[in-house]
Structure 1
Amino acid sequence: LFPLWWFRTHRWEITEDAVYVRTGFFWQEWRIAPMSRIQTVDTVRGPLEQLFRLATVTVTTASAKGAVRIAGLDHEVAADLARQLTRITRDTPGDAT
């Protein structure tokens, strides 16, 4: 039941311009982090995530709202995503402030 709920309430997309993340069922939150505002990209794997071969990608921006998190990813997908975001942000003009 939990994977079905998670699938229906969490969405994310990466483009050349921004990171888009939507979470929530009753109260939905839609976050957009422009590539030019990204400061760091981190991959975190806690003990349970390691057990199930999952990871969380955290995209830190210069936003007062805080970091954008994409949780529950396969650990290999998370590593590829972090590499892709690092490449795109490196090639994107802007000072991330």
Structure 2
Amino acid sequence: MHLAEPAYPPSRKAPLVWAIGAAIPWMFAVAAQAVWFMVDGRVPWLHMLVAAGTVVGAVVSVVVAPLWRYRVHRWDLDATAVYTRSGWLVQERRIAPISRVQTVDTYRGPLDRLFGLANVTVTTASSAGAVRIVALDVDVADRVVARLTDIAALGAEDAT
């Protein structure tokens, strides 16, 4: 088993999808603050302080985090293992031996479907949980699932 860094990034559309997903809750926060200001505008300095915090939080969540995640997230696959690196503030590197693979699933949320992306989850016989390869173009995800299925089928071992 080689220990090289995973080579493949998510889809180029991933930062946009992650940014939109992060922006949705911030829109509710902005709307709630606007209602709060209209209902009770007696303490303008407090409204400004909360608004400034919202702007900083939104910029970090919607701009910085998706771009940083894209720079960090990587995946790779060979005949012996699935390799992933994920996170942005806290980073995690996972290596799942093919002999431990139990199931391979895909997941596509509403934004994923809108942008033609899919996520692959490789469930293993490990207490650390599943390995996730996120934000792949659908055709890439389909090829990864097919390849994992083919490789796992060649193994004589049972992953239980």
Would you call these one fold, judging by a TM-score over 0.5?
yes
- CA RMSD, Structure 1 to Structure 2 (Å): 1.3
Structure 2 unpaired stretches of 5+: 1-62
Percent identity, please: 57
How many residue pairs get matched? 97
Q: Give 1:20's aligned residue.
A: 83
Q: Normalising to structure 1: TM-score of the pair?
A: 0.92
> Which has the larger share of strand?
1
Q: What is the deviation of 1:92? A: 1.5
Q: What is the deviation of 1:29? A: 1.0
Structure 1 unpaired stretches of 5+: none
Per the alignment, do residues 51 and 14 of structure 1 end up closer, same or farther by CA in structure 2, a change over 3 Å counting?
same
How far apart, CA to CA, are the structure 2 residues paired with 1:79 and 1:32? Answer: 20
Q: Which has the larger radius of gyration?
A: 2
Q: Is the 8 A contact 2:69 2:86 kept in 1?
A: no
Secondary structure at the counterpart of residue 8 of structure 1: helix
AA partner of residue 145 (structure 2): A
| Deviations, residues 68-95 of structure 1 (Å, cap 9, x unaligned) | 1001000110011100000000002211
> Which has the larger share of helix?
2
| Deviations, residues 6-52 of structure 1 (Å, cap 9, x unaligned) | 32110110010000011123422111110000000001111110000
